[in-house]
Every structure is written in C-alpha cells, then in structure tokens.
Amino acid sequence: MKPSPDASGSLAAVAVDRDVEAAGPSRKASAKRPSKYRPSRIREKNHECILAAAEQEFALQGFQGTTIQKIAERAGLPKSNVLYYFSNKQRIYHTLFEDIMQRWNNVFSEIKPEDDPAEALAKFIRVKVELSRTHPIASRLFATEIIQGAPFLKDHLRTNMRDWVRDRAQVIQQWIDAGRMTAVDPVQLIFLIWSSTQHYADFQMQILMVENKAEYEQRDFDHAADFLVGVILRGCGLVPPSVPRA
C-alpha cells in the first residue's frame, strides 16, 4: 500500500509501476543508453493497456470467466506479454482493486459535525454520481466482486470500509442529535446513497434500454443527480439547495 506518485486521472494510468519488483535493480541506467528510448516508457504503456483491458474483461465476465487470452487480445499484445508483466491472473485482478480502492479513498473527503448537512450530503451524492459517470467500468468491476461474495475484498470491507462508514455515520448522528435533520438511520442512509448512485453505472444497460437511449450523457447524469439530491435531502428533512428543474 505504498503511496504512488500518480497525478493522472486516467483509469489505468494510476496503476503503473506496481509490478516492477521483478525487473531487477537497473532503473537509473536510462541516461547511459542514448540509442534506446527509455524502456520504462514501453513498460508503462503496456502496463496501462493491460490493466485497462483487464478491467473491461473482468467487469464483463468476472474473475473466473475472464481469460488471459481475451485480455491480451483487447490490449493488442501477445498473451505471453501479459504474463510477462503480471505473473498470473490474480495479480492483475489485485492490482486493479488496489487502484480502485485508492481512487475511491482519494475522492471522498471528510465530513465534519460543523458542516452543513444539506451541503455535505448533496456533495456526497453528486460526487458519487460523477464517479459513476467517469468510472463506470470500475464500478461494475467492484459490483461484480461484491455480488460474488467479495472473495478478494472481504478484508478491506471489514476494516477500512467499516471504519469509513462508522466515521461518517457518527457525524450524521451528531447532526440528528443537534436537530439539524430528521432522525434516520445514518448507516442505512449511506447505503441508500451508495446504491442509488452506483445504479447509474452498474445497471446502465437496463436504464438505457428502459429509457430507449443509445448512451447516457452528461445532462442525464446531472438530471439523475438533481433528482437524487432532491428526494434524499427532502427525505432527511433538509431543504434542498435550489435545483433547476425543467
């Protein structure tokens, strides 16, 4: 869990240079070889391609259903190269979730008892909807993992995520105790926000088919976020901030 120096917002780019411990110590030799372009560039690029391809395949077929062959084809590489960068299938899967959970943690800022409940919850909902829009595949990958019983993420759920929920729930409870919002179960409220926002990524196909659309656009996500902020904040006894409605 070393902090990696990623300033990129790209999906796969975050995960570069995670599997280099097997490559040996010769890393600073790049300046000594002018004829070759830096090999780490190729390495990074292939890393990216493989992880992006793997994310799609794993999200579509699950862990067991995904073959290294398919990942290689989608990445445009020979199958052997995939196994050169990642020693086996599990390692690819693990690397993906390290990145996803790290990004997840980075996105969600703290909430404090002195914050305005309406503002804080609205921001939480909007950030989650935005995450569904920008990283739908990661969301589906996470969902598949949980549906299948979280064989790889169980530990993370019962440690990091439990603490995360407990902290937020405590703040919400303080808002309730201070009479600043309706008394609702804070943990259930977090579940409600999770489920309703993730739905736009995980069940996108159902939404598209039912709404008879080819793809979900920015304005559709904005509309969904406005709806959710309105209903949930009203459901918590919080006056929603002025929401433009057609």
Instruction: Choose the one of DNA, a copy of itself, none that binds residue 213, judging by a C-beta under 5 to 8 angstroms depending on kind.
Output: none
- Residue 16 or 82: which CB sits closer to a copy of itself? 82
Could you give the string, one character per residue 84-123, with x where binding to a copy of itself holds by CB under 8 A and - elsewhere? Answer: ----------------------------------------
Which contacts of 114-119 are long-range, i.e. CB under 8 A and separated by 24 or more positions?
Answer: 115/171, 117/172, 117/175, 117/180, 117/181, 117/236, 117/238, 118/181, 118/233, 118/238, 118/239, 118/240, 118/241, 119/241
Which residues of the shown chain bind DNA in the complex (CB under 7 A)? 23, 39-40, 42-43, 46, 66-70, 77-81, 83-84, 87-90
- Binding site partner of 203, from a copy of itself, DNA, none, Cβ cut-off 5-8 A by kind: a copy of itself
Decide whether 149 or 244 has the Cβ nearer to DNA.
Answer: 149
Q: Which residues, numbered 222-241, are part of the site for a copy of itself (CB under 8 A)?
A: 223-224, 227-228, 230-237
16 binds, among a copy of itself, DNA, none (CB under 5 to 8 A by kind): none
Partner touching 63 among DNA, a copy of itself, none, CB below 5 to 8 Å by kind: a copy of itself
160 makes contact, choosing from a copy of itself, DNA, none, with CB < 5 to 8 Å by partner type, with none
Provide DSSP, the chain: -PPP------TTGGG-SSSGGGS-S--GGGGG-SSSPPHHHHHHHHHHHHHHHHHHHHHHHHHHH--HHHHHHHHTS-HHHHHHHSSSHHHHHHHHHHHHHHHHHHH-----TTS-HHHHHHHHHHHHHHHHHH-HHHHHHHHHHHHTT-TTTHHHIIIIIHHHHHHHHHHHHHHHHTTSS----HHHHHHHHHHHHHHHHHTHHHHHHHHT-SS--HHHHHHHHHHHHHHHHHHTT-PPP-----
- Our finding on whether 56 is near a copy of itself (CB under 8 A) is no
Residues making up the chain, counted from first to last: 246
Binding mask 139-178 for a copy of itself (x = CB under 8 A): -x--xx-xxxxx---x--xx--xx--x-------------
85 vs 221 by CB, closer to a copy of itself: 221
Measured from the CB atom, is 43 or 156 closer to a copy of itself? 156
Residue from 210, 215, 239, 242 touching a copy of itself (CB under 8 A): that is: 210
Burial (Cβ within 10 Å: 0-12, 13-18, ≥19) of residue 44: middle
- Which residues are at the interface with a copy of itself (CB under 8 A)? 59-66, 140, 143-144, 146-150, 154, 157-158, 161-162, 165, 182-185, 187-189, 191-192, 194-196, 198-199, 202-203, 205-207, 209-212, 223-224, 227-228, 230-237, 245
